[in-house]
């Protein structure tokens, strides 16, 4: 069972963990693990402050729980904040990073933890049918990405910020451009008199630009395959579809 914890832009605190602890009795699940997502997707790609990670880790330990960091975009957080991945990971029992997404691999992720934990994870992977022979060719792309595609995440962040600042001036578009820390831009289009689904369809059909809808707002994500010309095209498309 999972128990979602509310936070600010996807980031919760030690006090939030304390408040999410259930009474220990036969009716409640035993709480074993706290999981944090860095960067927080629905938080707009927000970076967990290091002190908050440490506080949550301390709270988790106090309650006899482990801490997992879903760091699918941890390296975005690293490049944007200047905080080394090792520092973010230091208080976590396990950490996940994605080699796909911003790092540009077609597939792949890495799970890190103690030798004992990884031994168990390996076994679970096999139990779920995850055995894969000849995986080296896939892993090679991951090694390449770690060697060549980490520092360039800064370009993705600059492009996301440029996109946000440009569409913030379009009538009917709402976006918190000053909150863009990494590679995600959530924005609202209801002020244009269209819903997100319509807006998204028109961006693709009329301009060849793909921006999806996540819940209510739309979400634009920058990554290895989006260059400056792509950002220019996306800005022009949003402006045209918004009608201004």
Q: Which residues of the shown chain bind ligand PLP in the complex (CB under 6 A)?
A: 37, 41, 70, 72, 98, 100, 109
Task: Decide: helix, strand or coil at residue 185.
Answer: strand
Least distance between ligand PLP and beta carbon 50 (Å): 19
Least distance between ligand PLP and beta carbon 23 (Å): 30
Q: Quick one: 96 or 163, whose CB is closer to ligand PLP? A: 96
Q: Quick one: 22 or 125, whose CB is closer to ligand PLP? A: 125
What is the enclosing helix (H) or strand (E) of 51? Answer: helix 50-62
Q: Quick one: 90 or 214, whose CB is closer to ligand PLP? A: 214
Angle CA(199)–CA(200)–CA(204) in degrees, nearest 5? 115
Q: Quick one: 100 or 198, whose CB is closer to ligand PLP? A: 100
Cα 182 to its chain centre, rounded Å, is 9
Distance CA 213, CA 137 (A): 34
Backbone torsions φ then ψ of 37, nearest 5 degrees: -110, 120
Residue linked to tokens 């001036």: 169
Cβ atoms of 67 and 37 closer than 8 Å: no
Q: Quick one: 131 or 205, whose CB is closer to ligand PLP? A: 131
Least distance between ligand PLP and beta carbon 110 (Å): 10
Does the CA dihedral 167-173-179-183 come out positive or negative? negative
Least distance between ligand PLP and beta carbon 72 (Å): 3
Residue nearest to ligand PLP (CB): 72
């Amino acid at each position: 069972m999972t128990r979602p914890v509310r936070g600010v832009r996807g980031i919760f605190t030690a006090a939030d963990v304390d408040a999410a602890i259930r009474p220990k009795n036969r009716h409640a699940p035993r709480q074993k693990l706290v999981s944090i997502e860095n960067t927080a997707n629905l938080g707009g790609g927000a970076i967990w402050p290091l002190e908050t990670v440490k506080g949550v880790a301390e709270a988790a330990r106090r309650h006899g729980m482990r801490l997992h960091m879903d760091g699918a975009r941890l390296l975005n957080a690293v490049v944007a904040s200047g905080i080394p991945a090792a520092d973010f990971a230091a208080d976590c029992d396990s950490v996940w990073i994605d080699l796909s997404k911003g790092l540009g691999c077609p597939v792949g992720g890495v799970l890190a933890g103690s030798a004992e934990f990884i031994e168990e994870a390996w076994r679970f992977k096999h139990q779920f049918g995850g055995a894969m022979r000849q995986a080296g060719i896939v892993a090679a792309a991951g090694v390449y990405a770690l060697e060549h595609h980490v520092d360039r995440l800064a370009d993705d962040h600059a492009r996301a910020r440029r996109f946000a600042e440009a569409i913030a001036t379009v009538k009917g578009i709402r976006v918190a451009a000053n909150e863009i820390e990494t590679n995600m831009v959530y924005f609202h289009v209801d002020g244009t008199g269209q819903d997100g689904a319509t807006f998204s369809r028109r961006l693709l059909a009329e301009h060849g630009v793909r921006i999806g809808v996540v819940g209510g707002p739309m979400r634009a994500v920058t990554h290895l395959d989006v260059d400056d010309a792509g950002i220019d095209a996306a800005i022009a498309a949003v402006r045209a579809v918004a009608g201004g």
